[in-house]
Structure 1
């Protein structure tokens, strides 16, 4: 079995090992001008936001356009070390190097930024589905706790950036996407740029019936970004993002239903017609000032609001969160180096309550709200203060030191019960100091880097409370040390770029959310994990002729993650693989391009089996997914341009688990529900018109 699996990996790598050697002989006949242009193609021209010599991975518009505008998982999973599990359009979990894999639902243990504004809430959760893929210009990932200026969370940071207007031009664009499962998506955008001012306004609408029962999704969104230059040294940036969506929830399936009836919803969720309704608002203003000399400052103030209503079979959750914060960063030169100094302060107020769900007494009409079961309020505060200093040591060698200080406080109020039964409590974590150090050596055709960093993760809401709703005074933050070595190499006169990284991360005080009821978890610090891994990425731009180019690419991830010390009651899981993490993953493909107007892509993703229980007694099956897409654009009349896209997802109609729920428990004699089925073979087509003047 093991030999067969490694042979499978080898077969997928083989084309990339052979192609460079084949085309290298052809490339010797090309002059240096052609080679230099290929370097620009590989680098993508995307401005890096990670500070100084901090390494990061980035995908741009071309990489995102390989897939349907709904398929954010395939786009992000092109980056090695990053794995997005998507149970539905509204059910996503991002893990980086195995961190966050044990979270039951949603994304935590990393920091999410949208146009440099932090949008992770006070409990550490981030919502990637609050942003429309068609509005994004780039996604940058800092893997692990080495990004001092973007938090030192053990998972790292995810930085989303919107599309910028084309300099000096005004454009109207409209794209309409149609697809399987009665999917319709429309994005209408106005962009304008002139000297000292730009504005971007877009509206999007999406509706789909979904692959499964009780799987409808409808979303409307509005995005406004603008930048105004105030004199020679000042600039104001404005951001407003609003999303309103309603998503039915088919929930997870047991193994029998997953294999035999993957389009079905769980029976209880179907009977209750479970769904969630969300209204999310983000508003922010950033003021930037250039002082005399090299010193500059950028300060953002922002406000977030989320209104969430979710009928589940076991109860109905009604909640809202509003928060506000400030992020200020100073940058400049000091002695012979560069420094960054700043901080983030964030405070939010979370209100939530539960009610009886009387769907069984509602004559088959789904959920019906009954008596109140709980009423709670929580105030959450976080403070991050950070500093970095980068200095050249020799002509090719540079060093960077960083420091981050975090202080987190939770204040929980029980508004439902009184007297001795009242569960109100406060939990203030001790300040935690998180240093980092990096070295980079550069030469003409590449660079090497080494990094040592300390990181942490705060407990989430379920982990801070016991099943009875009492604040757990014994829970503490996860803490870890990350050691990393890697490099970037340009080969064949720059036509091929290879990125390679090996890392070792030790995490202690592992946070475990143990499921003790259908919607009840208890958090505790259960032991230690060791995360070892290899990340390898390569792109090879091959100019076949004057207009035709071929670009093979791949991103491979080896995750050798395990429990070092993990005892759960009478069970000792030490030495077992880390639950929820595939050992091998591969994203690969070929891009064919004819000029700037015709493109064809063939993509492949391999995901190894995933351990589903801490005892390693149950695993998901490994799978391969193939996708193909094509793009064609042509001018129509004057400044009007037509753009056509079409694609097929899951070409071979593979039944696979796009997401999993670890350590699932079957209640009342039922089978555990581990699996969220991925979509079957499906199609999409997009037609776009743009008017640029």
Structure 2
């Protein structure tokens, strides 16, 4: 990190000397144009979907230590903190780890189709973000499978015209520290931006929760001529974290934040690099081509992999060590063509991705040391590894994944106030595999054509409406297919059985919404009403030993209202209110095939971890009497939800307040965040199995946290 800072300082001084005669241009320019929903620059009033943009100003003022602090400012988004930047997501879905979200980096998926990881955003460098665009609802017709509940596009910093340099540090009282630096400039036809962060957590409020993360992003832009541009992006990251896991109800209520294990961990090494060439043929036609490479290594001794049953043999448990490694080689091409007839724009494209993957997991024998308690209500005080069994595999496969797609979208305006959008995409995921556990090999193909149609109607300048129908598609994750079913394989003595029959999930979404802007944009309001049905959803049952049984025979419904309100009466105040009211239910979901079981189908039950209400609101103050000072108070609301699939026990939810202040003096900025302002006892997530003897697992949230930071911002203008 020190070498990076020295390089950035020297480069900044060199460029400053070469740019003394350059015309005046701002270091940072912002706009309100969206690129995610239509794969091309489009105004909000021309976009028939629910889309939100988190601007550079919001990102900068948040001074977030983790991405969830920023994402949760978007109406309809609940990003769950699982500690040390690990996370789960809820957008038009319950809080889950399902592969129904697509994470993009400058429009390119972070992971290939079939290798979804709900923690993929921990690889992101927050100091490298220019803006974030979040599309809610299916956009599979443009971006392909997994773009179902929502799509998050993280847009990275571009090279500035003038030389700029930023350096900052931040820390809290729980042992968290981060150093970050970024710089860039444009010299003639070449622009560059370099950004790095280094985070560390030691001796926190929660046992077994240390972590370390280092990220470096490098972008180079080359203007070949007025019509042709070349862009290169490279990201390198390393991450290692202890996994403290969840706590039982008694420890949670007593704020006893001790971990039941001291051996669980997650580690990641990631490389992503891409090269894009764009050419404008004329004012109505442009073409872009991107080639890319990914290289990811993810290893774990996961806390969620510990399987323990209080009713069978409560003093023993099992665990696992696993490794999931993949590489990707791919290309995507896109052409945009405009026509005078009805002001038509047509976007056409195709993509190919080849991703070989290897995965293995082996068994651990674990001793469970119990807390004193009543029979049938035991809880674990500490787990200890008794023996490792690399020879006893829980999963062991290699696979070559071939993803191909073609897509097209057309926008046209038969009358000035009406804009119609129609799009479609065909995806084919072909899997060639070798499963060492049952000595099988073969091919599997998951393919689907997805369609969308929508329209925007803008009768007046101050208001607009939209409606759309869209389809979503998500094949099962490769890891789910080749995971031995619970009670088979390993040391069970039973032949391993697998989830070869899992089917792709499909979704149909119906949506209407609109926006209003009044008093010269001082007051804005936007809303969306949606109804979505899922078929063959990949759902899971949490078994008594903490293992998971997968099913893809589920049918579910998801409906709700999302709303955002922003009022800026003057230059000193800004009031933001946003939230969602939603209901997620099983329509049909078989959990038992045994005639003797009382409950065989969850049809009609609410889905677990599905709060009816969720919201995030904020009041910000920028006093005229003290320029460059800011202060804000943020309110986060999560309503009650069921912990289990059989709707017997609820978690009460929480109201949470955060405070932020900052002051800039010339090039120096000092700031402070107080997270969990009232020191509220709450959990990020609570879940339990379906049996009456099941114990709740609480993902405990942090006590009141004071984060302070110092940042140096330099922009070398004439």
How far, CA to CA, are the matches of 1:360 and 1:565 in structure 2? 39
Q: Is residue 2:391 matched to residue 1:372?
A: yes
Select the residue among 233, 239, 247 that pairs with 2:233: 239
1:597 paired residue number? 628
Q: Is residue 2:144 matched to residue 1:151?
A: yes
8 Å contact kept, 1:288–1:298? yes
Q: Is residue 2:313 matched to residue 1:318?
A: no
SS of residue matched to 2:589:
strand
Q: Is residue 2:356 matched to residue 1:349?
A: yes
Aligned CA distance change for structure 1 residues 665 and 274 (closer, same or farther; 3 Å) = farther
Q: Is residue 2:415 matched to residue 1:394?
A: yes
Q: What are the residue-to-residue correspondences of 1:211-360 with 2, within 5 Å?
A: 211-265=205-259, 267=260, 269-270=261-262, 273-312=263-302, 314-334=319-339, 335-336=341-342, 337-357=344-364
SS of residue matched to 2:295:
strand
8 Å contact kept, 1:218–1:245? yes
Tell me the CA shift for residue 74 of structure 1: 2.5
How far, CA to CA, are the matches of 2:399 and 2:547 in structure 1? 18
Q: What are the residue-to-residue correspondences of 1:472-483 with 2, within 5 Å?
A: 472-483=499-510
2:309 paired residue number? none
Tell me the CA shift for residue 517 of structure 1: 7.3
Question: C-alpha offsets along residues 195-245 of structure 1, whole Å, 9 cap, x if unaligned?
Answer: 532111122110112331000011111111121111122111111111111
8 Å contact kept, 2:227–2:281? yes
Per mean C-alpha deviation after superposition, the further-off stretch among 157-166 and 237-246 is 157-166
Q: Is residue 2:471 matched to residue 1:454?
A: yes
Q: What are the residue-to-residue correspondences of 1:168-247 with 2, within 5 Å?
A: 168-209=161-202, 210-247=204-241
Q: Is residue 2:128 matched to residue 1:135?
A: yes
Question: C-alpha offsets along residues 470-528 of structure 1, whole Å, 9 cap, x if unaligned?
Answer: 55343211111111100010022321010011111111122222345757533222331
Select the residue among 583, 591, 608 that pairs with 1:579: 608
How far, CA to CA, are the matches of 1:365 and 1:436 in structure 2? 52
Tell me the CA shift for residue 369 of structure 1: 5.3
Q: Is residue 2:697 matched to residue 1:655?
A: no
Q: What are the residue-to-residue correspondences of 1:653-692 with 2, within 5 Å?
A: 653-661=679-687, 663=689, 672-692=695-715
8 Å contact kept, 1:147–1:157? no
Give the length in aligned residue pairs: 624
Select the residue among 648, 657, 670 that pairs with 1:617: 648
Select the residue among 535, 539, 542 that pairs with 2:569: 542
Aligned CA distance change for structure 1 residues 663 and 241 (closer, same or farther; 3 Å) = farther
Per mean C-alpha deviation after superposition, the further-off stretch among 53-62 and 437-446 is 53-62
8 Å contact kept, 1:110–1:124? no
Q: What are the residue-to-residue correspondences of 1:116-135 with 2, within 5 Å?
A: 116-126=107-117, 127-135=120-128
Q: TM-score when scaled to structure 1?
A: 0.85
Q: Is residue 2:448 matched to residue 1:432?
A: yes
8 Å contact kept, 1:109–1:124? no
Aligned CA distance change for structure 1 residues 121 and 222 (closer, same or farther; 3 Å) = same
Query: Which sections of structure 2, spanning at least 5 residues, go unmatched?
Result: 1-29, 307-318, 369-381, 489-495, 593-598
Per mean C-alpha deviation after superposition, the further-off stretch among 490-499 and 680-689 is 490-499
8 Å contact kept, 2:644–2:687? no
Tell me the CA shift for residue 73 of structure 1: 1.5
Aligned CA distance change for structure 1 residues 655 and 424 (closer, same or farther; 3 Å) = farther
SS of residue matched to 1:211:
coil
8 Å contact kept, 2:88–2:96? no
How far, CA to CA, are the matches of 1:376 and 1:572 in structure 2? 33
Question: C-alpha offsets along residues 387-423 of structure 1, whole Å, 9 cap, x if unaligned?
Answer: 10000021111101010111122233123x5xxx424
2:428 paired residue number? 407
How far, CA to CA, are the matches of 1:446 and 1:48 in structure 2? 21
How far, CA to CA, are the matches of 1:643 and 1:478 in structure 2? 48
How far, CA to CA, are the matches of 1:125 and 1:470 in structure 2? 22
8 Å contact kept, 1:398–1:439? yes
